[in-house]
């Protein structure tokens, strides 16, 4: 008689009620079972540019090290995998007299196994590298501790992913790309970066932006990354410095009390200034950082500080604003050596500039000093 394959995994579990909408479950799965029900939601974008997923690419060396350990003789693996479960997962409390202490409930979970072509009922929020190592190990019956919560919403999954990894070395670019997609209350260090991250995303996608498709994002495929030559972390830092510093030209458009940002005005300032930069230095714009220090982290940061000086006196909503910004930047042409020559005040060749605090400070001082001097001369 042919044996019928089970259509679900039944597992003893503890339910902890922190919030009724999203209960927490503690249980264990074998490596094989984990791979059957859970998948990694890697960060990417659809054809319309909408962000999908939230995970980082696998780290091969780290995965290999875990796999080698799992294949050893004596293995202790206390680190749990954190899963987001779909609402198709069912928990049944044990029948009979209650034996719990009022803080947790014992029962069993029924996790449906997907048929061919169907989506899996769970997503890995934390433990991606461990799960990949388990998939490559010889210990397929190895029991793995699991913490899981019910959440069909990708927004909640992203929120938990960021919180779990808040003290871990997540790639900055990945955090930058995820932050605008999270609508829940975030820790202060992440909340302060949400507006700059959203503006960075806007600059990369706005048809009027000189940065369109030039900013490198974690979700980009290999082909797109070849043409993306500016790091998103450099753009985010440039925006964040201007928004948070009292002398920044973007600072007046941020309400510190409410945390709200006038995105339309900030967008206007950024597009005005950086479009003028592109038009002022056309030979240096759009080249890889190795060929143009204007597109380098040092160049973006230093020009961001010059932006604070230039844009503070520009009436951004008047029709003549683009012409005024171009006129201000035209004075900088003789001073800048983005693709060749020597920065005379610095005593450095154009390609010796590095993305370090010292070089950014020195370059910023040169640009601002030259701009201030030229402005006085013009007056």
Q: Where are the domains of the chain?
A: 8-164, 174-378
Rounded Cα–Cα distance for residues 213 and 207 (Å)? 9
Choose the weakest-confidence range: 40-49, 280-289, 319-328, 360-369.
Answer: 40-49
Provide the CA 374 distance to its chain's centre, in angstroms.
39
State which of 28-42, 53-67, 170-184 shows the largest mean pLDDT.
28-42
For the segment 11-40, the average pLDDT, to the nearest whole number, is: 84
pLDDT at 190: 47
pLDDT at 313: 87
State which of 92-96, 217-221, 350-354 shows the largest mean pLDDT.
350-354
Tokens of 97: 């007299």
pLDDT at 93: 84
For 66, 332, 345, the CA distances from 374, given in Å and listed in that order, are 60, 8, 16
pLDDT at 162: 63
Rounded Cα–Cα distance for residues 307 and 300 (Å)? 10
Tokens of 267: 């967008």
240-278 confidence digits (pLDDT tens):
899 888 899 999 988 776 667 788 888 899 999 999 999
Q: What is the DSSP letter of 289?
A: T
Pairing of strands 122-126, 81-85: antiparallel
Choose the weakest-confidence range: 17-26, 78-87, 95-104, 314-323.
Answer: 95-104
Rounded Cα–Cα distance for residues 280 and 331 (Å)? 10
For the segment 41-69, the average pLDDT, to the nearest whole number, is: 63
Query: For the chain, give me the number of helices (H) and strands (E)?
Result: 12, 14
pLDDT over 60 (residue 212) = yes
pLDDT over 80 (residue 35) = yes
pLDDT at 166: 56
What's 308-355 look like in SS3?
HHHHCCCCCCCCCHHHHHHHHHHCCCCCCCCCCCEECCCCEEHHHCCC
What is the band of 296 on the pLDDT scale with cuts at 50, 70, 90?
very high
State the first-to-last Cα distance of the chain, in angstroms, to the nearest integer.
Answer: 96
pLDDT at 188: 47
**Which stretches of the chain are assigned E, i.e. beta strand?**
8-16, 24-30, 38-39, 44-45, 51-52, 81-85, 90-93, 104-112, 122-126, 143-150, 215-216, 230-231, 342-343, 348-349
Tokens of 321: 């604003």
State which of 123-127, 253-257, 298-302, 331-335 shows the largest mean pLDDT.
298-302
State which of 48-62, 77-91, 213-227, 337-351 shows the largest mean pLDDT.
337-351
For the segment 54-70, the average pLDDT, to the nearest whole number, is: 70
Choose the weakest-confidence range: 96-100, 310-314, 372-376.
Answer: 96-100
pTM, whole model, 2 decimals?
Answer: 0.57
Average pLDDT value over all residues in the chain: 81
């Amino acid at each position: 008689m042919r044996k019928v394959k089970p259509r679900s995994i039944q597992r003893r579990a503890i339910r902890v009620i922190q919030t009724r909408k999203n209960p927490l479950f503690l249980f264990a799965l074998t490596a094989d079972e984990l791979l059957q029900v859970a998948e990694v939601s890697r960060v990417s974008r659809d054809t319309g540019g909408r962000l999908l997923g939230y995970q980082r690419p696998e780290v091969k060396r780290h995965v290999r090290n875990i796999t080698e350990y799992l294949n050893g003789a004596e293995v202790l693996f206390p680190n749990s995998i954190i899963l987001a479960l779909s609402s198709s997962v069912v928990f049944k409390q044990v029948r009979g007299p209650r034996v719990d202490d009022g803080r947790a409930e014992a029962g069993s979970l029924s996790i449906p196994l997907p048929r061919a072509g169907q989506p899996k009922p769970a997503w890995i929020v934390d433990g991606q590298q461990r799960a990949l190592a388990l998939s490559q190990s010889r210990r397929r019956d190895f029991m793995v501790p699991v913490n899981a919560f019910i959440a069909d919403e990708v927004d909640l999954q992203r929120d938990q992913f960021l919180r779990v990894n808040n003290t871990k070395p997540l790639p900055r670019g990945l955090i930058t790309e995820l932050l605008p997609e999270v609508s829940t209350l975030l820790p202060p260090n992440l909340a302060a970066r949400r507006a700059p991250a959203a503006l960075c995303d806007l600059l990369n996608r706005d048809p009027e932006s000189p940065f369109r498709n030039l900013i490198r994002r974690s979700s980009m495929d290999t082909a797109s990354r070849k043409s993306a030559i500016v790091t998103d972390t450099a753009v985010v830092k440039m925006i964040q410095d201007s928004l948070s510093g009292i002398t920044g030209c973007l600072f007046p458009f941020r309400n510190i009390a409410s945390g709200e940002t006038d995105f339309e005005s900030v967008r206007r300032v950024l597009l005005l200034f950086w479009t003028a930069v592109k038009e002022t230095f056309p030979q240096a714009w759009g080249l890889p950082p190795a060929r143009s220090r204007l597109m380098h982290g040092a160049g973006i940061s230093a020009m961001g500080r010059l932006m604070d000086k230039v844009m503070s006196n520009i009436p951004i909503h008047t029709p003549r604003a683009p012409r005024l910004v171009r006129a201000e930047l035209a004075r900088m042409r003789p001073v800048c050596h983005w693709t060749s020559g020597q920065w005379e005040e610095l005593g450095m060749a154009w390609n010796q500039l590095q993305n370090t605090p010292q070089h950014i400070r020195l370059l910023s001082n040169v640009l601002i000093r030259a701009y201030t001097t030229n402005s006085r001369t013009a007056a």
